[in-house]
Structure 1
Amino acid sequence: MIIAKKKELSNGKFEYQSLEGHTKSVLSFTIDLIKDKDLEKIQKLTGFNKDKIKDLLFFSAFFHDIGKATNEFQEYIKGNIKKSYHSLYSSNITSNIENFLFTFTNDEDDEENINLLFLTVLNHHSILKRNTAFLGVENESQYEHSFLEEAKDFFYEYKNWYEEFLNKECKYNFEYKFIQRKTLGSKIKSTIKKLKYINKKDLEKLRILYSYVLGIINIADWRASAQFEGINLKLDFEKIFDEKQLCNKLQEALEIEKFIPRGFQKELAAHKGSVLVEVPTGSGKTEGSYFWAMNNISDIKDKVIYTLPTQTTSNKLYERVEKVFDNTGLVHSSATIYLEEQLSEEGKDIDKSFDSKILFGKTFNNSFTVGTVDGLFKNFLNIGRYNIATFNFLKSAVIIDEVHSYDFKMMGFMKRFLELCDKYEVPVCLMSASIPNAIKKMINIEDENKYPVITQKDLFEANPNYIYKVDKKIEDDIDKIKKDYENGKNVLIIKNTVKKSKEVYDLLKNEVGKENIVLYNSSFKKCHRVEKEKEIMRRLKDKQNFILVATQVVEVSLDIDFDVMYTDLAPIDSLIQRFGRVNRKKSDNKGVIYIYKDVESKPYVEGLLDITYKTINEGLHKISEYNKWLNTVYDEIVKDKQIQNEIQDNFNEGEKTFDRILKENLGISKSEDVYNLRDIKFAKKDYILLEDYNKGINGEKRKDYEHTISLGAYLSESEYRAFKKNIEEKRYYDVLEIPYSYEEGVDLSKDSMRNVVIDI
């Protein structure tokens, strides 16, 4: 038997799977993933014949592991040698099969070809890297390999298997041919060199075709391997709900007697294609997007991807989504921590099944995936298993919530992303409580033929809060804040920087007691941020009045509702988000909002705060008035050349990122996760604190991440670094020696911390 897989049994012995068994399993899953409508789309986008694509998929699956029929791999799987390169060995046998050539013109308008079967098989195990180690195959003896006699017998089964799996005659005539290592190395070098000179148009076509084919092969391989381990990786919706069925699911999830859709939600349920939804916060746009999504997918294998600005909002929405839809996933850098904690609360164990599903879910394989917009966009920079994410994206309905809440650099990338969605016929539902007309124009969604607007005017008639402008600092009104708290009010305070939020917290804890205040900002360990979020929600649910001192992280990160808010002046769109955290249900018991003018302009664009302050009017206003202020501010921005130039520079940088990275990475090679899609003034990185390191937390990568804290990257080379990251010693992060507590995060009050910058 040619061994392809092995697994350890509970008695310490091993069970083996043959190459024939594994390959047939991969082929079955491959055929299951192929849909005519997807093939037609790929043919339209790339010009590659759809029947040829289907055959390419079959032969990629059939030959992907033939390299395991080598002496080297058999010794490796038996534990006799440490390394094997079976994907490289497999590519040897496919290098002379030239029936699947991608034809393109290079930068000099000369016609060239790339062997797609060779490329797919070579890279099925790990994504191609621009400087792949396989470039050294010619000169490195470690890549030497020899095939078993049985490999040839397996090879010539391709006709029989083709007819068995595709139910048609196989007209291909391949010859089993082994080439020497130096010849193989030369072919790899030639392929990489060709990639460097593909023109932009053909590069995009290659990326789509390659991602589609390799995406299917990777998913099928994962599922087959998981099946051998006894793990079922689910891909499909159980069913696509119609409007009535979804209403029933929502009333169960919301624990209400009957869910009756609002007018805009019914419009969304009937709308096909991309759309812009504009309704106030708390009006049910999330539920409305569910109706839209169900109407914009047509097969149980299609996907829904719902993106939000922050990890916290993604976590909270995930909790809601999984009550409505089966097979849900969560994608962001801290998702594993959150899902582990959820399992723990349910009394379930973390096992191989959990690990497999986490890995599987990272590339949007679940039917309904919730995540940050960064997690989606970064796949377009070839980060991680971008090919699988791209395959799933091509058959998705995408929802982008809080579309107004991103900086101008991210908006630039969003414009490019929306152009790709339009080109690839991927429907997008953009949602916002307040998006200025100027931003609509920038990201090219002002044309209602491309992005029809669905709204509901009566929802903007509410006047939930009194607004007051105060020409001083929040710190000057501590007594007033204390009085509101003593009168039973839930008080929200929002400062624009971490440092200032800590100063206000210190002032208040002496007045009302620290047990009655929660400080929430970005200076906490990841695990403590999760705990604080739960603490905040618990206090609100228990109607236990308290004071929350926070930064702008609460603008979109928490579904909270307070009686009164004291906020630093911020740009108009940020303020409107903050307004939505007071009297969220728009009851007759009006909320009160105080906007304090005396603030530093950082981290915002210079001049924007003054324009905002002048535009806002005091008093009780309808929500529709907020949007008028929003457009007035942005109209003024356009007139200010200095502000406009700064905005345009950031926007242009974001917009050009995709095409620049695509070219840098040869269209299909893997990229390092080093790109900031957002306009981050101060680079940050994750650290472990010395107290945790000394407790022995460091050393298990998963638990490490839970205890990391995100601080300025410059601290890696500062006096506060106790130990440097060292993977061999299982130290996955730099270790910092700085004072810290659950209540206050990093303690900036110590003299030793005077030089540490945490903002912004």
Structure 2
Amino acid sequence: MKIDYNKIPLYAKRFKTPAGYKYQTIYEHTWELLNNMDILFREYSAEIEDGLKKLNIDIEKFKYLLKLAAIYHDLGKANLLFQAKIRDKQKNKEVPRDKTLSREVPHNFLSLVFVDVNKIAEDIKNHNFTNSEWDTLLYTIAFSHDREFDCNIYNIDYFKNYIEKGVIHFLNNPDLYWFLNFISGSIDKDKIIKNTNFFWKKIKQFKIKMLEEILNFEEYNTQFKVLLKGFLHRLDHASSALVTVEEERIDDFPKKVELYLKEKGNFSNFKEFQMKAVELSDKNVILFAPTGSGKTEFGLNWAQKGKLIYTLPIRVSINAMYERFIRIFGEGRVGILHSDNFLFLLNDEEKYNSDEEIEVLFNNLNLSKNLSLPIIVTTGDQIFTSALKWPGFEKIYSLFLYSKLVIDEPQSYSPESLAIIIKTLEEVSYLNGKFCLMSATINPIIFNYFGDKIEYLQAYSDNELKNRFSHIISIRDNSILESIDEIIKEAKTKNVLVICNTVKRAQEVFKAVKEELKNSKELIKVELLHSRFIEKERRRKELAVLNGKDLNSIFISTQIVEASLDIDFDMLFTEISSADSILQRMGRVYRKRQYNSKTPNIVIFTKDISGIGRVYEEDITKRTIDYLKNFDGLYLSEYDKKVLNEYVYDLKEIKETRFMKKFNKTYDILKYGYRSENKSEAQKIFRDVFTVNAIPKSIYDENFEKLLGYLEKLNEKNLKPAEKIKLISNIRDYTVSAPGYLLPKSGASVFDSDLGIFIVNHNYDEQLGLISDEDDPNNYIL
């Protein structure tokens, strides 16, 4: 029986719905990309055109090639094996079989053969296209999905046979006939077969040259390639998720910030440095601003209008900043992007307590994931891992042709992560990207790499900084565990913050405080917060520390409270750490108040310190102690803090330290073209710690029936996406972020492989969190 290939629907996407599978044809999916392309250029036309112009890229030429890439990129799905694979069992019968096609050729490579070689020659001749620009289009189509291309598996003979028997029959199918006619004006099967050798060689050539051609971001060809491929990825991913590539832009950040501040009261005008931000909006900027002086408002004013990506190093800081931005810009204008964003959002039971509201949340998560909202608040690993060139990294880089990037508290990253950040910013700047680094502790390494290429601004002059002080410090040559009585004594009249360098030490301090208070009549609230509590308990504790304004209380924590949290305690007891870290810790005490007492409100312990050599470099920590000893019992002004950071990270003095060796090694690896296999691997490298989601055995046993009930429900067919997210959230409530090395040492078992959740045998205490007897090299997780 003769098969009519023109009547076989050609599917590009399959979606699971309560009513069964829903399909999207190649035609429908391609039109989604073209519609999204119109939206992208409508919302940000001025910024994109300006950015391309500065790179000497003709905008009409760029748009023309992007449109072709959008049309061609999925045409290769019109092949027998893909069409059989995408269908359910019943629809699978629509597609004939050919026994000579034993292995599917990835559709992105097949898409290439639809390109009309004659049209390439004509465009090069008549429309001022270069061979390199057309090669960029072909490369973009061929690697619209970055799949492996093994010439031992897909040899030229098999490639030709696959096209002749699995592809050619569909050329007149109405699902792609319109596009082929629109592009070429005619369809010639013989020419497609004839040009197979040409495209086969191109694919091999692209694969070989892929790395070397993305190393030099100063070159036109690299810039063109990264932007074209990146824009295609953004269009494709948004269209596949059924969301717009860009939501409506925000045209006046400063006005919205001003309205918000006026509603809060006690606001007359922006500070001088905050107003200066608007003037510097088209510049790369470093802002030095003491804690609590209003650098967030500076960052928003600097962004001015359009699109903003705002990065912070710590999840709890991101959550707090997201809620702050929601109050300024409104619902549906701000996205949050980190590994547990849906858990954080679902925690708002008043907002998301119905299926309809959860569907809205699900859509918002998709918009955030696809970077479609005008403001995205995110962790650094979502952005800066692009420097590790994971497959598809161009998607992130292309974003900054028309977006602004704020890096808040860059000092909170490890030397390896700092090297990755600096390399990313270098490459983004070559693509006309604009960034703003903001901190109370700017690492001199940053100046070393950017020099006069970046505007430096201080919130206050050095003279003003010398007259600003909120802290008197006391340096103690003893352990924090030897000062429990003093901590409790101060907590009788104050709100006390205790910060330790490791989870284990924080647990030890908490136990010692509780033991001392056991027989006491003092009514002192004691709270412990670190990363190893189960999710629902950790969220409660994070809110407690954010709202912790009561006297007679002691909050004991780790580094997770250091960066960009608007908390204000009366007194700090802390282990010594690196200069940037210790200064951030000070910023959580008398944050916006003048300190008029004569007694220390910052107590720093320098003996029996946890985490030195593992969490903090010993050389850097020693230099920090050496400087701070000069201020024992004295006020430490904001100017003194600035000098402390400059002293500790003096590049001439620390060039042989482990800190700089780690930084230089990472930077050099990136400079010479390191590529991670995937984004997940890149994120692990950036975070410098491998963690897993685990349910402690005692928690699992206690909630056995509930957890298995969630899992059973999760595996039901025809489950709505919103229901699925809610069930996953319910399960994750009982998980803790645990270091990966615990798995083999704890006799761990798998709870669910699809969710990546394990069960660990380590003890769990509701007051202490997960307890590990091992000497933990990663005993802090941000």
**TM-score, structure 2 normalization:** 0.79
CA distance in 1, matches of 2:38, 2:152: 32
Of 769, 773, 780, the residue aligned with 1:745 is: 769
Counterpart selection for 2:509 from 489, 495, 504: 504
Q: Flag the 1:402–1:329 CA change in 2: closer, same or farther, 3 A.
A: same
Amino acid at match of 2:572: M
CA contact (8 A) 1:218 1:388 kept: yes
- Return the alpha-carbon distance in structure 2 between the equivalents of residues 439 and 102 of structure 1: 47
CA deviations 1:614-656 (Å, max 9, x no partner) are 3220222432222233333344x74366xx3423211212322
Distance 1:724 1:657, change over 3 A: farther
Superposition deviation, residue 314 in structure 1: 1.2
- Measured in 2, the distance between the counterparts of 1:534 and 1:547 equals 15
What residue identity is the alignment partner of 2:296? T
Q: Is 1:209 equivalent to 2:224 in the alignment? A: yes
Q: Is the contact between residue 94 and residue 117 of structure 1 (CA under 8 Å) also seen in structure 2?
A: no
Which one of 143, 146, 164 corresponds to residue 127 of structure 1? Answer: 146
CA gap of 1:313–1:190, structure 2 versus 1, over 3 A, is: same
Residue 673 in 1 paired to residue 678 in 2? no
Query: After the TM superposition, which of the residue ranges 344-353 and 356-365 deviates more from structure 2?
Result: 344-353
Give the match for residue 108 of structure 1: none
Inter-CA distance 670–555: structure 2 relative to 1 (3 Å threshold): closer
Deviations 1:89-141 (A, max 9, x none): 433323756729999xxxxxxx99984444433444x3344769985796599
Deviation at 1:182, TM superposition (A): 8.6
Moved more, 213-222 or 198-207: 198-207
| Contact in 2 for aligned 1:303/1:393 (Cα 8 Å) | no
**For the residues of structure 1 that align with 2:623 and 2:241, how far apart are their CA atoms?**
58
> Which position in structure 2 is the counterpart of 1:151?
172
Equivalent of 1:291, from 295, 298, 301?
A: 301
Q: Tell me by how many angstroms 1:507 deviates.
A: 0.8
Letter of the structure 2 residue corresponding to residue 121 of structure 1: I
Give the conservation status (yes or no) of the 8 Å contact 2:13–2:240: no
Instruction: Indicate if the aligned counterparts of 2:388 and 2:682 stay in contact, CA closer than 8 A.
Output: no
Q: 1:619 aligns with which of 610, 619, 634?
A: 634
Distance in 2 separating the partners of 1:366 and 1:418: 22
Question: Structure 1 stretch 88-97 or stretch 623-632: which is displaced more?
Answer: 88-97
**What displacement does 1:237 show?**
4.0
Partner of 2:100: none
1:369 deviation in Å? Answer: 0.9
What is the match of residue 291 of structure 2? 281
C-alpha deviation, 1:307, in angstroms: 1.0
Counterpart amino acid of residue 759 in structure 1: N
Aligned residues: CA RMSD: 4.0
1:307 paired to 2:327: no
Percent sequence identity over aligned pairs: 24
8 A Cα contact 2:34 2:67, kept in partner: yes
Find out whether 1:736 has 2:745 as its counterpart: no
Against the structure 1 CA distance between its residues 261 and 100, is the aligned structure 2 distance closer, same or farther, given a 3 Å change threshold?
Answer: farther
Bigger shift: residues 386-395 or 352-361: 352-361
Query: Residue in 2 aligned with 1:649?
Result: 661
In 2 relative to 1, CA 565–97 (structure 1 residues): closer, same or farther, beyond 3 Å?
Answer: farther
* Counterpart residue identity of residue 606, structure 1: E
Q: Which residue of 1 aligns with 2:717?
A: none
Residue number among 338, 362, 386 corresponding to 1:379 in the alignment:
386
Q: What is the identity, as a one-letter code, of the residue corresponding to 1:562?
A: F
Q: CA deviation at 1:734?
A: 4.0
Which position in structure 2 is the counterpart of 1:721? 747
| Cross-structure match for 1:167 | none
> TM-score, normalized by length of structure 1?
0.81
Equivalent residue, structure 2, for 1:54: 63
Do the aligned residues in 2 keep the contact of 1:97 with 1:174 (CA within 8 Å)?
A: no
Give CA deviations for 1:474-506 in whole Å, capped at 9, x if unaligned.
2222222221222x3111112222222111111
Cα distance in 2, alignment partners of residues 100 and 733 from structure 1: 54
- Shift in alpha-carbon separation, 1:226–1:434, aligned structure 2, 3 A: closer
Mapping of residues 9-408 of structure 1, within 5 Å? 12=19, 19-34=26-41, 35=45, 38=48, 41-42=51-52, 45=55, 50-70=59-79, 72=81, 75=84, 78-79=87-88, 80-81=91-92, 86-94=107-115, 96=117, 99=120, 115-124=135-144, 126-129=145-148, 135=154, 145-148=166-169, 151=172, 157-158=178-179, 161=182, 175=188, 177-179=191-193, 188-195=203-210, 198=213, 200-201=215-216, 208-224=223-239, 233=244, 235-241=246-252, 243-252=254-263, 255-256=264-265, 258=267, 260-272=269-281, 273-294=283-304, 297=305, 302-326=306-330, 327-342=333-348, 345-349=351-355, 351=358, 354-383=361-390, 385-408=392-415
SS where residue 151 of structure 1 aligns? coil
Task: Please give the alpha-carbon distance, in whole angstroms, between the structure 1 residues aligned to 2:62 and 2:186.
Answer: 17
Cα offset for 1:684? 4.3
Alpha-carbon distance in 1 for matches of 2:122, 2:317:
45
Matches within 5 A, 1:428-439: 428-435=435-442, 438-439=444-445
Instruction: Name the CA distance, whole Å, in 1 between partners of 2:151 and 2:582.
Output: 48
Q: Residues 341 and 742 (structure 1 numbering): CA distance in 2 closer, same or farther, change over 3 Å?
A: same
Residues 555 and 574, structure 1, Cα contact 8 Å, conserved in 2? yes
Question: What secondary structure sits across from 1:127 in the alignment?
Answer: coil
Aligned-partner Cα distance in 2 for 1:274–1:714:
40
Counterpart contact for 2:15–2:23, Cα < 8 Å: no
Aligned: 1:485 with 2:505: no
Q: Distance in 2 between matches of 1:523 and 1:159?
A: 56
345-354 vs 600-609, which moves further? 345-354
Alignment correspondent of 1:608? 620
Give the Cα–Cα distance (whole angstroms) in 1 for the partners of residues 498 and 595 of structure 2: 22
2:670 to 658, 676, 680: 658
**Per-residue deviation at 1:710?**
3.4
Does the CA-based 8 Å contact 1:408-1:679 persist in structure 2?
no
Q: Which residue of 1 aligns with 2:469?
A: 463
Tell me the SS of whatever aligns to 1:329.
strand
1:338, 1:131 → 2: CA distance?
42
Partner Cα distance (2:353, 2:652) in 1: 55
Residues 86/706 of structure 1: CA separation in 2 closer, same or farther (3 Å cut) = farther
Does 2:550 correspond to 1:535? no
Cross-structure match for 1:106? none
Contact 2:239–2:245 (8 Å) recurs in 1: no
- 2:532 aligned with 1:523: yes
Change (3 A) 1:523 1:154: closer
Q: Deviations over 1:640-674 (max 9, x none)?
A: 66xx3423211212322433445x47xxx855524
Please state whether the residue corresponding to 1:444 is helix, strand or coil: helix
Distance 1:234 1:354, change over 3 A: farther
- SS class of match (1:562): coil
| Matched letter for residue 526 of structure 2 | I
Structure 1 residue 399, shift from structure 2 partner: 0.9
User: What SS does the aligned partner of 1:586 have?
Assistant: coil
Distance in 1, Cα, partners of 2:150 & 2:761:
37
Match for 2:310: what amino acid? Y
Whether the aligned pair in 1 keeps the contact of 2:695 and 2:736 (CA below 8 Å) is yes
Taking a change above 3 Å as real, the CA distance of residues 370 and 130 of structure 1, as seen in their structure-2 partners, is farther
Task: Name the amino acid aligned to 2:474.
Answer: Y
Question: The residue matched to 1:321 in structure 2 has which SS?
Answer: helix
Give yes or no for contact 1:363–1:388 (8 Å, CA) kept in 2: no
Task: Return the letter of the residue paired with 1:305.
Answer: I
Is the contact made by 1:114 and 1:191 (CA closer than 8 Å) also made in structure 2?
A: no
Match of 1:639 in 2: 653
CA distance in 2, matches of 1:511, 1:287: 43
